[in-house]
Chains A and B, each alone.
Chain A
């Protein structure tokens, strides 16, 4: 992976980890060890991609930007309880396979109405 990609990933991670608090643009560049010019370009790029939000704020009497990640935590909520998650044969499961989603007992139990 190129240094540029590494830097972008690191920047995205720092913004994401700052959570709802966000992170000052200037603070981010210091942490990344890049110039403010390079940093601003990155922030604009992320904003155009739609992965972050830049909010203009007054900080110590000067206008600056605070960065907030738009990325949400990946969770298991939507597949919670699905038996496929713990099935060792998930990759062998297909129509006509040794395991079959059309006749799988565990899957049938999961999708059947709970009494």
Chain B
């Protein structure tokens, strides 16, 4: 796997907090383990373990196989890490974020923005500000031109870094 343990645990933390990290650590050491066993090792409630496993499953970080218990007739699920898909998950996430940042950059570059100064009110484009006669549609304060050059600079740097990262 070309993903370090540190990165793997970072993803687990982003998706599931400290409990997520604990679960991924257990899965890294044990293949095909049941929710009950993970819960016993980590002391995390079974329901919470299950909830986090489904979250990891939705991002393809873990997989499961199920079989029927001969005595009870219930399904038993065994979980394992999919290390080979972690890299694909990270790269896919970067691609999605890159697309969003490019969309946002284009918007920032092609619009003028106005703001009332109230942190809870949204920014207004020039077109909307014209309609409201340069008054904030939320709090009715007067609008002032907002300099978004730092946002544009931040986006340009991030996009460049992401493209370089994805090309290596």
Contacts and interface: CB of A to CB of B under 8 A. Distances in A.
Contacts of A76: 7, 10-11, 14, 90
Contact of A75 (B1, B4, B14, B104): B4
A16 B151 contact: no
B155 interface: yes
Given A16-B2, A76-B7, A85-B14, A101 B96 contact: no
B7 A75 contact: yes
A14 interface: no
Contact of A107 (B11, B91, B93, B100): B100
Contacts of B107: 102
A113 B153 CA distance: 10
Contacts of B93: 79, 84-85, 90
B7 A78 contact: no
B150 A102 contact: no
Interface stretch (A21-29, A31-39, A66-74): A66-74
Given A78-B162, A102-B107, A73 B4 contact: yes
Which range holds the interface residue count of chain B?
A: 20 to 34
Contacts of B168: 72
Give the interface SS of chain B, mostly helix, strand, loop or mixed: helix
Interface string A87-115: 00011011100000111010110011100
B41 interface: no
B131 to A, nearest CB: 17
Contacts of B87: 74
Nearest to A86: B14
Contacts of A75: 4, 7, 90
B103 interface: yes
A7 interface: no
Nearest to A16: B2
B3 A73 contact: yes
B103 A79 contact: no
B50 interface: no
Which of A85, A90, A93 has the most chain B CB within a 10 Å cutoff? A85
A75 B93 CA distance: 12
22 contacts: A16-B2, A72-B168, A73-B7, A74-B2, A74-B3, A76-B14, A78-B158, A78-B162, A79-B94, A79-B97, A84-B93, A84-B97, A86-B14, A101-B101, A101-B104, A102-B103, A102-B104, A103-B122, A107-B100, A111-B104, A111-B155, A112-B150
Given A94-B103, A101-B104, 9 more contacts: A72-B2, A73-B2, A74-B90, A84-B97, A102-B107, A107-B104, A108-B123, A111-B101, A111-B158
